Amino acid sequence: MGELTNAEGLMWSEVWYMAPEALLGVCFLILVVAELFLPKSRGASMIGGAALASLIAAFGLVIWQMTDRMGSGNGDEVVSLLGDSYRIDDYGSLVKLLLLAGTILVALLGMGSIHRDHELPGKGEFYYLLLPAAIGGMMMASSANLVTLYIGLELLSITTYVLVALRKRSVLSSEAAFKYVVTGGVSSAFILYGISYIYGVTGSLQLSVIADALPAALEHYEALLYVGFGCMLIGFAVKIAAAPFHVWAPDVYQGAPTPISAFLAVVSKGAALAVVLRIMFAVVLYGGGGSGLQDDLFFGLKLLGAIAMLVGSVAALKQMNAKRMLALSGVANAGYLLVPISLSITVVHSNNVSELIFYLAAYLLMTIGAFGVLTVVSRAEGHDELRGFAGMYYRAPWTAAAMTVLVLSLAGLPVSAGFFGKLFILLGAANAKAYWLVAVMVVSSVISYYFYFGILRQMFMRSEGAGGHKLMVPVPIGIVIWFCVAATLALGLFPGLLLDPINQVFSFAGDLMNLAG
């Protein structure tokens, strides 16, 4: 009888807390059925508009929930749902906002590009498949149970497998989808294998119970815990394309539709990073108690981040394909994003989450904006090579100016969101006395100047495109590009616009350590 009461409570009084995910799920089912009856001529546009509206509504619901909880004085309280396997906290809500914002921008990119893509027959599928992918990422952000986490991960992964393969008439897309399915399956297997070890040792799948059981488990099963957490971190390293587990990324990004490449670069990567931070801080840091396991796992993340930064930057130097270059840029940025997670919490450094979320927001803006410009260029030139940017200043000076801002932000130069994002992470590493990691960040950034400035050299110092046809920027893509540019400059001039709200709503004790309370 008690279980029935709990179920009824979830359905009627607490379902509000899962309204964003429920809204996207309902809209997905409606759009799948609606596509069967809509006319082919305008069906994709109508589905795209409905999918975009549902994503914006879900974004608004998350903000409404956060403001409602703060207004009622319950902002620091964690809402537990589904037997404490799903938790609504400010950390999860902040990550959800980033994931939804990225998905909204990707949907807009699709509106300006996929209708002209003759190799993509099922255009409506592009839009409504974004919804379950977003749900999967949101589930990962709020999961407090390893099974719930894995379900969200697989929902996101399986949906993106299909999205990568949408170009059914393209051999390159089919090859990319096959490689992505294989590497994604291996990644999921590692994560599931690690989960099984942790469950076997601690007797639970709840993060809070695992954290409480960790000290006792370390006394008897330390080696098995190394295997469990190590396998999980390897699996997530594949998901975020951190070197040396990144080799799938250039091929998949090149073969996938450009908006989906942007989705993989930002949303998939962001969801996996959010999970890694929650596990490392709510379980390993809380339950490790200064053990060798805790020290080794955090050092392993530092080493993984350093390798990703160097390998991604060096490998991008020889790339002549813009998609592959942005994929390897994402590898290097995965390394930067791993640094705040790997630093743990010390007396002089406790801004890990604000550093991660700020740079993740900056990375979202500059990467999706750059993919937006690439979409315009590749459509006009018929290829994704860097030479397509040649003489872009003469053909589309405003678009060239926008790309300049985005490239400078990717390079981490001043008056840009990328500059402050890297600066905050670098200062955090210095405060934590990880000076060797600071040196790696500086070297990687200097190396990246060469291939980022290669785009500027093509746009301003090559004249092959001068006098040719102008680049036509569809309205939805123009909105994405200029929104990303404006937000990048705004965060570069006033970083407090994002940092202050993050610091205001987030607390380690309430949002992460509460999992173990």
Half-sphere exposure (Cβ direction) of 31: Cα atoms closer than 13 Å: 28
User: 346 - beta bridge partners?
Assistant: 349
Cis ω before 414 (30° cut-off from 0)? no
DSSP letter string over 396-430? -HHHHHHHHHHHHHHHT-SSSHHHHHHHHHHHHHH
CA distance 502 to 477: 29
How many Å apart are CA 242 and CA 304, to the nearest integer?
A: 7
Among 47-51, 218-222, 463-467, 509-513, whose mean pLDDT is lowest?
463-467
The confidence band for 11, taking pLDDT boundaries of 50, 70 and 90, is low
Average pLDDT value for the chain: 89
Extract the tokens encoding 99: 């994931």
* Mean of pLDDT values over 299-322: 95
Q: In the prediction, which pLDDT does 74 show?
A: 62
Instruction: Decide: 31 and 124 in contact? Cβ < 8 Å.
Output: yes
Q: How far apart are CA 56 and CA 79, in angstroms?
A: 23
Distances from the Cα of 15 to the Cαs of 5, 56, 59, 450, in angstroms? Answer: 14, 19, 17, 51
Looking at residue 13, what is its pLDDT?
57
Mean pLDDT of 131-137: 96
pLDDT on residue 3: 38
Identify the residue with better confidence: 462 or 258.
Answer: 258
Q: Residue 86 is inside which H or E element, if any?
A: strand 86-88
Give yes or no for a contact between 358 and 337, defined as CB atoms under 8 angstroms apart: no
Residue-wise pLDDT tens digits, 110-131: 998 887 777 777 788 999 999 9
pLDDT tops 70 at residue 75: no
* CA gap 502, 294 in Å, rounded: 27
pLDDT of 308 higher than 90: yes
- For residue 510, the model assigns a pLDDT of 64
Mean pLDDT, to the nearest integer, of 405-415?
93
Position 396 pLDDT exceeds 50: yes
pLDDT of residue 273: 96
pLDDT > 80? residue 2: no
Q: How confident is the model at residue 185 (pLDDT cuts 50, 70, 90)?
A: very high
Q: What is the structure's pLDDT at 409?
A: 95
What mean pLDDT do residues 94-101 have? 96
State residue 186's pLDDT score.
95
pLDDT at 439: 96
Going by pLDDT thresholds of 50, 70 and 90, the confidence category of residue 467 is very low
> What is the reported pLDDT for 380?
85
Q: Is the pLDDT of residue 59 over 90?
A: yes
Q: Which residue has the tokens 């809209």?
A: 27
Provide, rounded to the nearest whole percent, the portion of the chain with pLDDT above 70.
Answer: 92
Specify the pTM: 0.93
Residue 177: pLDDT above 90?
yes
